[in-house]
Structure 1
Amino acid sequence: MNSKLAKIIIVFLLAFFTGVNFVVFPALGTAFTDSSLFGLLSSQFGNLFIPQVICIIISCLGAPFLVNKWGPKVVLAIGLLLMIISTGVLWTLQFFINDSSLLFPVLMILVAFTGSGFGLCITTLNPLAASLFENNKSSAILILQFLVGLGTSTAPLMMNLIGNVRNWMYVPGCIFILVSMAFTAFLLLKLEKETFFELPGHFKIPPKLWLFFVTIVLYGCTEGTFGSFGAIILKNQGLDNNKASLGLSLFWGGMALNRLLFGIFSKNKDLSYLFLFSPLIVAGLLLFLLLYPNVNSIVLMMFLIGFFMGSIFPGSIGWGTVEFPTLSVVVSGYLMAANQVGTGIITNVLGSLSNQTNIIFQFLIVCMILICLLLFYLKRNSKIKEAF
């Protein structure tokens, strides 16, 4: 298959399944901590994600150079295979669940495989999507990230649908089959090693790109706060378990909706100032929560915070891709790694501060103001109008 339509369909389908695969381990948290199944301690379950974050950062930083050497098809194939192996082996653990001494080390390895596969895939898919829409690179990346986000919400939904936690094996089993089918279709594609993926013979990271990196580390701190500790923070604000879960779902839903709308409307509308002011709007919403912690308004605020945060990360990748066309894969890899660095930092720090809601909100407000200032600084003599 070499038609552009086939490439577009399969590339965006792979983005969705990459998102699904990425959260299979968090989605199975209840099974992993169930004493009658895997029996992991809460601390062990938390430690599972250390290799995932490390492997994502390493693979995101290494992927640009691998794509430059081998081309996007080989790197994507390796990433997909790592994720397929991870879910396949995870499914087989149902037969060895009584051998508790091996379970945790095996799970650590599988999580590392998932993280490495995710990093290789997503770093390559971002510029690949941009290359298929030469005149709408940023929109393509925003919609691709929307599909990744949609995928991350699917695995927990699958866990809810199967009902009994003892049926956990159906989740990795279904994902294994679906990703294997998408992988087979992908192998039929002809993806050449185009100039879009080639790096200059000798290059150094431009100072402006380092500023993008710092911006996304700060963004990763904010996203990681809500992603990892959102439910705990909401419960500290007076919400019950159901409303806390609803607030967290609305946060991710708002983020996904923003990416979709930005991807659709930035083709014809100038959304650059909405993008630039989004962090400031988020800071304002957080300040409102800090000053008026009203239980009835928190859930709505979570949706709005997610909505106005939605375009910051993929929009920065799209903008950076337009700004540095010869380094498009480096932009994707380094900013993906930056997001994980921010997430990794905040999840380690917040472990002891998760009950200090006011301090957390104050820190996030400062992060958002700094992001806004950095984006306006980056706007000077830039190609932001082409990106949005």
Structure 2
Amino acid sequence: MTARAQTTVVDLAGVVQGIVLVTIPALSSILTDPGHYALTSAQYGVMFAPQVVAAIAAALAGAGLARRHGTHAVYLAGLACSLVSMVLLLASAAVMHQQHVAYPLLLAATAFLGAGFGLAVPALNSLAAAFHPANVDRAVLILNALLGLGTALAPVFVAVFVGLGYWWGLPILSTLLLIALLAVSARLPMHSGARSAAAATGGPLPARFWLYLAFALLYGICETVNGNWAQLDMTTSVGASTTTAALALTAFWAMVTLGRLLFAAITRWLPARATFHLLPFALAGVFVIIAALPRGHDVQGVLAFGAAGLCCSALLPLTISFGQGELTGLSATVAGGVIAAYQLGYGIAAFGAGPLVSAGTPLSHLYAIAAFVAIAMGLLSFAVAHRRRSPRTLHPTPAPAHAPITRTG
């Protein structure tokens, strides 16, 4: 397989993995619809607990598995886990009115989805870097943008398939894409990379390391309040149609992707450190707007969630950039730790919000609470990036041990 073909496969894998990653959250209105799965808000939230646990475990174990078995094998294992997730989701659709059978299948599906993300996405970052050793930053930037493109496409596909009356068309599409990708990727050769010089810390981690993890945790909460609950907020609080709600989620993920490209392009005029300080406070303001949206303001809701995506866009990549730039001897540990903390924040927002909503807390209040989380993140940004020079790129060079780097959301 030529170098160009290798790059094409990795880039396509980024798009497919992005679609798969958002397939289940994009179906939130179907999962909670009394005419379909009829999940309560609490059940919908708890459904993501296995995903979080599996993703954290895979992200932390990924570097070691790559050293023993190779990044190519880890990448294929991640795709296989994602494929199992989609098959389980389709199996649940066949018995969705038998909740005692469908719900365990959904829990298993999210568990495999988390494992697939934790294995495949870091491996993709490593492969992109290995295929372009002379231009790593650009290769990883393109890959992460394509991951974001996939996350933005998933809600669009949901809207199309729901409009056609075949909501299960998205998991079928994801399954077919993964099968094709596995077939092609099996022939993808692995470029050998340098072994890690910092596989083990050899001592206690510095206090600064935990500041980066705390910031990533808060960011995970803020991103997931949008990524997992935007559609339900649009349909229940704003009174929007399922199609419009899907458009709002698409706007969020699309702006996450475009924002990363934008802030990478304007670093000459707006230093990355200033971006890191400003975006959390801007996000807090957007959350206040979302919380105050009255019923019938569908267009304003779509625009607000798009603005939230822009505010989220650069924060996670910059967290890893600053961390790897400061703690140079712990590059792999920083990347894996930040991703694990991000996933923990994802879990708090994904299944922690469910009981609040089921207890009668309006979703609009959830966004008001998220505004305070964003403010706390903004204040913490001054400690995280205190007197740090702005990194040259929003997407840092991957650690040589093929450590987990980042996801797009």
TM-score (norm 1): 0.81
The verdict on how the C-alpha distance between 1:68 and 1:349 changes in structure 2, with shifts beyond 3 A counting, is same
The answer to whether structure 1 residue 338 and structure 2 residue 345 are counterparts is no
Instruction: Name the SS for the 2:24 alignment partner.
Output: helix
* Matched ranges for 1:338-357 at <5 A: 338-351=341-354, 352=356, 354-356=363-365
Per-residue deviation, residues 149-184 of structure 1 (Å, max 9, x unmatched)? 221222222222123586233322221111111122
The verdict on how the C-alpha distance between 1:343 and 1:305 changes in structure 2, with shifts beyond 3 A counting, is same
The verdict on how the C-alpha distance between 1:127 and 1:257 changes in structure 2, with shifts beyond 3 A counting, is same
The answer to whether structure 1 residue 372 and structure 2 residue 355 are counterparts is no
Per-residue deviation, residues 281-331 of structure 1 (Å, max 9, x unmatched)? 441463487599687877655434422321111233345455566755444
Per-residue deviation, residues 37-82 of structure 1 (Å, max 9, x unmatched)? 4444443333211111221112112212212222211111111111
Q: Tell me the CA shift for residue 13 of structure 1.
A: 1.6
**For residues 66 and 159 of structure 1, what CA distance do their matches in structure 2 show?**
35
**For residues 231 and 29 of structure 1, what CA distance do their matches in structure 2 show?**
7
1:303 alignment counterpart: 306
**For residues 95 and 215 of structure 1, what CA distance do their matches in structure 2 show?**
41
Instruction: Name the SS for the 1:163 alignment partner.
Output: helix
The answer to whether structure 1 residue 218 and structure 2 residue 244 are counterparts is no
Per-residue deviation, residues 177-203 of structure 1 (Å, max 9, x unmatched)? 111111222111111442156753664
Indicate conservation of the 8 Å contact 1:21/1:83, yes or no.
yes
2:61 alignment counterpart: 62
**For residues 235 and 34 of structure 2, what CA distance do their matches in structure 1 show?**
25
1:256 alignment counterpart: 257
Indicate conservation of the 8 Å contact 1:279/1:308, yes or no.
no
**For residues 394 and 11 of structure 2, what CA distance do their matches in structure 1 show?**
20
Instruction: Name the SS for the 1:168 alignment partner.
Output: coil
Per-residue deviation, residues 6-26 of structure 1 (Å, max 9, x unmatched)? 332222221211111112222
Indicate conservation of the 8 Å contact 2:91/2:105, yes or no.
no
Indicate conservation of the 8 Å contact 1:278/1:308, yes or no.
no
Instruction: Name the SS for the 2:112 alignment partner.
Output: helix
Q: Superposition RMSD on alpha carbons, in Å?
A: 3.6
Instruction: Name the SS for the 2:385 alignment partner.
Output: helix
Q: Which amino acid aligns with 1:260?
A: L
The verdict on how the C-alpha distance between 1:239 and 1:102 changes in structure 2, with shifts beyond 3 A counting, is closer
**For residues 293 and 25 of structure 2, what CA distance do their matches in structure 1 show?**
30
Indicate conservation of the 8 Å contact 1:221/1:345, yes or no.
yes
Q: Which amino acid aligns with 1:215?
A: F
The verdict on how the C-alpha distance between 1:164 and 1:245 changes in structure 2, with shifts beyond 3 A counting, is closer
Indicate conservation of the 8 Å contact 1:80/1:117, yes or no.
yes
Q: Which amino acid aligns with 1:241?
A: A
1:173 alignment counterpart: 172
Gaps of 5+ in 1: none
Instruction: Name the SS for the 2:62 alignment partner.
Output: helix
The verdict on how the C-alpha distance between 1:23 and 1:68 changes in structure 2, with shifts beyond 3 A counting, is same
**For residues 227 and 331 of structure 1, what CA distance do their matches in structure 2 show?**
24
Q: Relative to structure 2, which stretch is displaced further, 54-63 or 285-294?
A: 285-294
The verdict on how the C-alpha distance between 1:170 and 1:294 changes in structure 2, with shifts beyond 3 A counting, is closer
Q: Which amino acid aligns with 2:259?
A: N
* Matched ranges for 1:51-90 at <5 A: 51-90=50-89
Indicate conservation of the 8 Å contact 1:60/1:337, yes or no.
yes
Per-residue deviation, residues 121-157 of structure 1 (Å, max 9, x unmatched)? 1222233334444455444434322222221222222
The verdict on how the C-alpha distance between 1:249 and 1:93 changes in structure 2, with shifts beyond 3 A counting, is closer
TM-score (norm 2): 0.78
The verdict on how the C-alpha distance between 1:325 and 1:291 changes in structure 2, with shifts beyond 3 A counting, is closer
More helix by share: 1
Q: Relative to structure 2, which stretch is displaced further, 250-259 or 94-103?
A: 94-103
Q: Which amino acid aligns with 1:368?
A: M
**For residues 208 and 146 of structure 1, what CA distance do their matches in structure 2 show?**
29
Q: Tell me the CA shift for residue 363 of structure 1.
A: 0.7
Instruction: Name the SS for the 1:241 alignment partner.
Output: coil
The verdict on how the C-alpha distance between 1:369 and 1:44 changes in structure 2, with shifts beyond 3 A counting, is closer
The verdict on how the C-alpha distance between 1:15 and 1:254 changes in structure 2, with shifts beyond 3 A counting, is same
Per-residue deviation, residues 83-114 of structure 1 (Å, max 9, x unmatched)? 11222343345555565542222221122111
The verdict on how the C-alpha distance between 1:287 and 1:56 changes in structure 2, with shifts beyond 3 A counting, is same
Indicate conservation of the 8 Å contact 1:196/1:326, yes or no.
no
**For residues 133 and 57 of structure 2, what CA distance do their matches in structure 1 show?**
28
**For residues 94 and 246 of structure 1, what CA distance do their matches in structure 2 show?**
23
The answer to whether structure 1 residue 283 and structure 2 residue 281 are counterparts is yes
2:400 alignment counterpart: none
Q: Which amino acid aligns with 1:384?
A: P
Q: Tell me the CA shift for residue 333 of structure 1.
A: 2.6
Instruction: Name the SS for the 1:153 alignment partner.
Output: helix
The verdict on how the C-alpha distance between 1:283 and 1:202 changes in structure 2, with shifts beyond 3 A counting, is closer
Indicate conservation of the 8 Å contact 2:230/2:249, yes or no.
yes
Instruction: Name the SS for the 2:188 alignment partner.
Output: coil
Gaps of 5+ in 2: 396-409
Per-residue deviation, residues 251-308 of structure 1 (Å, max 9, x unmatched)? 3322210123345x37xx6477245334424414634875996878776554344223
2:147 alignment counterpart: 148
Q: What is the percent sequence identity of the aligned residues?
A: 27
**For residues 37 and 233 of structure 2, what CA distance do their matches in structure 1 show?**
28
1:14 alignment counterpart: 13
